[in-house]
Every structure is written in C-alpha cells, then in structure tokens.
Amino acid sequence: MDRTMILTIGGFLAVAVVFILVARWQGRREAAARREFAARHGWEMPAEAPAEVTEALALFAPVEVRVVSGLTVVERPPRSMYLFSFSSRTRGQRSDFTGTACLARHEGPRADTAVSISRRVPVVEKMVPDKLDVGSSDFRAMWIVTGEQPGVAAELVNDAVQRVFLEHDRGPAWVLEVDFVGPWVFAGSHWAATPEEWKYLVELTRKLAEGAGPQR
C-alpha cells in the first residue's frame, strides 16, 4: 500500500470519526434540551414508551413509525398526548423520514386505515395514490388528502381541521405530515427542532384533535 493510499484511507477515517463525535454531541445536546423543556412544563419523560403509544404506531402499517428518543408525556389518558423524535419508513423503501412528532387521542370518527394530509407539491402530486377530493378550494390548493375511506376522511378533515392547516400556512408554514388513524392523530415535521417549535407542534396537534372531535 503506497503512501497516497494510506493518507486517503486515513483521511476518510478521520472524517468518519469527526462525524460520529459531532452526531453524539448533537444527540446529547438535544436530549438535554428535551429534558429541560419537559421539566419547564411539568411533563414526564418515561424510560419506556407507554403501551398505548406502541399500539397506536402499529396502526400506521405498512408505514413503520418508531419512537427514536425524547418521548414526553404531555397529557395522560384519557386525553393522551405524546411528543417525541421519530423515524418512519414505508416498507420496501430504503430511506427514513425523521423529525419531531406529536401523537394525540381524538374523539372524532375512526379511520380503519390512515387518512393522511400532506403538502401539495406540483408534479409530485400526480404520482400520489388514493387522493381524495376533500376540503375547500383554499385548503386543496395547499394540501392533499389521501386514504381509503372518503366518507370518514370528509368527516375528519372538517372545517375546524382545515382552519388549523390554513392558520399554519399563514404562520410558520413548515412541511407537515398529518395522519388520522383509529382514535389518534399524528403530526410530524422535520422542521420542529427547537423548544418553541416543539411547543407549537403540541398546540397544533391539540387543535387538530379537538377539531376532529364533536363540534360544540
């Protein structure tokens, strides 16, 4: 092995070590921020995910959703709400979607399979299967609803739920992935990375859960 090859391999190894160290530092920093954030609001961070979280995430199959870290109990049953870092992957795909998510119970109609709401992206939307014609023209201009139960989707994505999305568009306007399945609503985003953004995601998810339920 000549000197150039040794230096090249050494350079790659050095970069790999730096990458690992930075990732670990960032992980520890985020974990500390999560603990401080939870303590400030009086929220609990259990060592293990409650059984209902595991059961709820299993409903998203064939999408595999898992808690990565930082699981925080925002509200206890019966109005359960959880905040956590997550990763998700559709079976058969190689890449993961990661970010922060909030999972909350709602009292609205139960979808047997996920009713999903995602940002409308020109060209890409033409390849999205199971699109549903749900919502006002203003809502449909920005968001796509997909699912296998049009009637349930129309009930869930009602005027109150649409208002949450339209308010979001006038505010931070992050890319969001929202899913209703069973008695749960899941709202996830790669962009929620600070305590202020985590708080915003919690409040947005609470509005979605309340909006999907019986209207007063």
The residue that leads in pLDDT, 10 or 168, is 168
Question: Do 176 and 87 fall within a single domain?
Answer: yes
Task: Please state the rounded mean pLDDT for residues 71-97.
Answer: 88
pLDDT band at residue 97 under the 50/70/90 scheme: confident
Question: Do 112 and 28 fall within a single domain?
Answer: no
Question: Do 23 and 62 fall within a single domain?
Answer: no
Domain count, the chain: 2
pLDDT band at residue 55 under the 50/70/90 scheme: very high
Question: Do 79 and 129 fall within a single domain?
Answer: yes
| Beta partners for residue 14, in sequence order | none
Question: Do 24 and 55 fall within a single domain?
Answer: no
Question: Do 15 and 61 fall within a single domain?
Answer: no
Q: 104-157: per-residue pLDDT in tens?
A: 999 999 999 999 999 988 777 777 778 899 999 999 999 999 999 999 999 999
Question: Do 152 and 65 fall within a single domain?
Answer: yes
Q: For residue 109, is the peptide bond before it cis, meaning its omega torsion is within 30 degrees of 0? A: no
* Structural domain boundaries enclosing 3: 1-42
Question: Do 28 and 61 fall within a single domain?
Answer: no
Question: Do 93 and 14 fall within a single domain?
Answer: no
Strands in 143-146's sheet, in edge-to-edge order, are 63-75, 81-90, 97-105, 184-189, 177-182, 111-119, 143-146, 131-132
What is the reported pLDDT for 23? Answer: 38
Mean pLDDT of the chain: 86
Question: Do 188 and 86 fall within a single domain?
Answer: yes
Task: Please state the rounded mean pLDDT for residues 21-38.
Answer: 63
Task: Please state the rounded mean pLDDT for residues 163-185.
Answer: 95
Question: Do 175 and 73 fall within a single domain?
Answer: yes
What is the reported pLDDT for 12? Answer: 52
Question: Do 29 and 93 fall within a single domain?
Answer: no
What is the reported pLDDT for 19? Answer: 41
What is the reported pLDDT for 53? Answer: 96
